Structure 1
């Protein structure tokens, strides 16, 4: 296990530096840790170096009570990239991880080779939805919402055929710290990246699962339309977390994208 102190809080990460030309930086979703990327990272490590980490408030990273919006999450990633002396990277972000990736694209475009934005948007949900979720979690904990979240994360067929795996991911969600989860919800609630997304000039691939109920096909398509010359792909049968329910399809799309010459 590897840990780094970033402005007084500890971030847990895994850096696999094999001297490859390319480097992948993975940013996980709300209520998960970096283990969601295991299958994808293993498949891509033949092509590039791999940086995985737990967002603040998730996994083995510190909860940071004074977190104030997506900018703070982006600060963590930017510092990690700088400390590890990563000159160029391909950022792969899922859900809120994709929002953080968009912020980074506006801050350090010179360090980002390409963007892969999975099941994400420039604005996810609205204030009433997030406030209701925050209140439910504050009052009754993450177990109060976990069954409903599983229905969003995974398609009905995946849940029926992979009950043990779904239970494991439900455990992952429920063991996320309540405060870490809430601070991330607040960051998503308060973020509108519409203008920022429209200014991204980095080659971008937007991906969505056909069964995603959190960021729907049309919503992710809308993000792709905002980003000039971006590519849009649908993974049939996947829910909100294709890196878990169909990593092979996700890897295939990433390989196809990174092998394409940049415009």
Structure 2
């Protein structure tokens, strides 16, 4: 394992690389309000891959964006492209969840030379509406992330998981996200519509939904899969918005099957 920093125009981006140096590389992109530990339970279940993870601006150990208005899905995809060019040899499999899935769609459409396979998990070409994101931004700016945390947990996790002590870990991760970083990502989501981009994705793509996802319901995830030529679509039963946490073994099984299909 190595922890590194990649210099970006907005500051230092925290990255982490695990696994064999000669294995095929998989890059993971996290959801809103989480850091690269989102994937911790999945990684031991992957087979012989080199794993690269990163924290978005204002999340985890990355710097806050110098200009929050500069954060967009396109800019976040540029960060991912710079990461791949800096630490990866050749194109990668890109796995993104929620806003990470939008980053992956943008990246695969704009830089197909860097992506040989794409996994879009619990994501869509458009998530929510500008009005819904602006309402959330106003709540966070007025009263902090704590004020929305319980509602977010209901969207993120199925009732069975919310009844476990482990919920507190992920709630803490959310509320400890810097307010400026969270709001900047919300603005990016409010402005994002990748409908036109999805049709330009020409790499093998697996799309995954959670049956009980309250943030990216299966119907909008399925509609996104239908826009990507040749994409497969899987619904994971009994889980919400964060299946790598709720069902890491089942999520890893899907990833391993996809990796076997696109392995060089």
Fold shared, TM-score > 0.5 on shorter chain: yes
The answer on 1:71 being equivalent to 2:71 is no
Aligned residue-pair number: 259
- Corresponding residue number in structure 1 for 2:183: 182
- Corresponding residue number in structure 2 for 1:51: 52
For residues 14-48 of structure 1, what are the alpha-carbon distances to aligned partners after superposition, in whole Å with 9 as ceiling and x for unaligned? 1125233411100000000000101112222x321
Deviates more, 1:206-215 or 1:105-114: 105-114
Secondary structure of the 1:145 match is: helix
Deviates more, 1:134-143 or 1:17-26: 17-26
For residues 208-237 of structure 1, what are the alpha-carbon distances to aligned partners after superposition, in whole Å with 9 as ceiling and x for unaligned? 110001111111000000001100001101
Report the CA distance between 1:127 and its aligned residue: 0.9
TM-score by length of 2: 0.95
Structure 1 pair 133–43 and aligned structure 2 pair: CA distance change class (3 A):
same
Report the CA distance between 1:79 and its aligned residue: 0.9
Instruction: Give the Cα–Cα distance (whole angstroms) in 1 for the partners of residues 91 and 76 of structure 2.
Output: 19
Instruction: Give the Cα–Cα distance (whole angstroms) in 1 for the partners of residues 151 and 197 of structure 2.
Output: 31
Instruction: Give the Cα–Cα distance (whole angstroms) in 1 for the partners of residues 94 and 53 of structure 2.
Output: 11
CA contact under 8 A between 2:19 and 2:48: conserved in structure 1? no
TM-score by length of 1: 0.95
Instruction: Give the Cα–Cα distance (whole angstroms) in 1 for the partners of residues 90 and 194 of structure 2.
Output: 25
Report the CA distance between 1:8 and its aligned residue: 5.1
- Corresponding residue number in structure 1 for 2:253: 252
- Corresponding residue number in structure 2 for 1:191: 192
CA contact under 8 A between 1:65 and 1:179: conserved in structure 2? no
Instruction: Give the Cα–Cα distance (whole angstroms) in 1 for the partners of residues 72 and 231 of structure 2.
Output: 26
The answer on 1:12 being equivalent to 2:6 is no
- Corresponding residue number in structure 1 for 2:111: 108
- Corresponding residue number in structure 1 for 2:143: 140
Instruction: Give the Cα–Cα distance (whole angstroms) in 2 for the partners of residues 57 and 75 of structure 1.
Output: 16
- Corresponding residue number in structure 2 for 1:24: 26
Report the CA distance between 1:260 and its aligned residue: 2.5
For residues 107-145 of structure 1, what are the alpha-carbon distances to aligned partners after superposition, in whole Å with 9 as ceiling and x for unaligned? 221221110100000001101100000000000000000
Report the CA distance between 1:248 and its aligned residue: 0.6
Report the CA distance between 1:2 and its aligned residue: 2.1
User: Structure 2: 5+ residue runs without aligned partners?
Assistant: none
RMSD: 1.3
- Corresponding residue number in structure 1 for 2:126: 123
